[in-house]
Structure 1
Amino acid sequence: MDVLRMLRHLCVGDWWLRRTFPPSALAAIERAIRACEERHAGEIRFVVETALPWAALRRGVTPRERALEVFALQGVWDTEHNNGVLIFVLLADRDVEIVADRGVAGGRVAAAEWEACCRVMEQHFREGRFLQGAIAGIEAVAEVLRRHPPGRKGPANELPDAPVVL
């Protein structure tokens, strides 16, 4: 077990979330997702988790493993054309993960492109610019989706645009 990681997860609480993503920032993220989804056929879901639950920490769950779990729990896979993309932020680990459904990923988008979107966000976050980082990440994902269209747009806005806070 990584003791420092456990301490970070135990010490990061709701106060950190309110500081990094206050209600005004969450509303701005929702507006950015709505605007970006008008430019491509993908569905973006933005999820912020302050820290992992104790049981997940003890099992050594990685941010990527948690992102895959959240992808399923939030139903990002449940779109008509499998065109959902999850942007997952794990604050305690200072990590961003992107998980794209098979209609978007499926060999069409190199992992390095998604990784570049994550790095853009993480750079802003390191500098304390959380809202700007989230918006830059959403814009970067939208640009990837514009360059690699996931096919037809499904029914009107299949996934909610509002960010989820776990």
Structure 2
Amino acid sequence: TGEDKPLDRKRDQAVAAVGEDIAALSFNKAVARIYELTSAIEKAGPSASRSVAIRTLLLLVAPMMPHLAEEAWDGIGDGIVADAAWPPVDPALLVEDEVTVAIQVLGKLRDTLTVAKGLPNEQLEALALASDKVQRALDGKPVKKVIVVPDRLVNLVA
């Protein structure tokens, strides 16, 4: 729906993963993904994306808990959940365009940054050095070496 892109992304990732997990008879993995979606829904504020995610959640639990899903689906007034189509997946939302990079000073985690995927190492290094938490950990010491693992980690050795 575009209102809450992280929730839309999580929803589409859950639909794709749960579909694959059910096909592979990996029901425990499917349930774990449903829990992840539930957590994302709980954290999201009221929006059209949240409403769509809740409806999608009901469709995802239907194969494993049909009675519960049917009662909840009836509560939102959409007929019978068994007649509803499996939710569509937008392939563009399955691709992550942001990553969380860990920033370490002398091997200890000091900060994390959410940055665009594929950001050049020099920019990652500059962002890491600009962090207040990193500056406090460095305590004025010069940086001797910087180790960058693209899209994962920046380790500063002082």
TM-score band w.r.t. shorter chain? under 0.3
State the TM-score, normalized to the length of structure 2: 0.26
| Greater relative contact order (CA < 8 Å, ≥ 6 in sequence) | 1
State the TM-score, normalized to the length of structure 1: 0.25
Select the structure of larger CA radius of gyration: 2
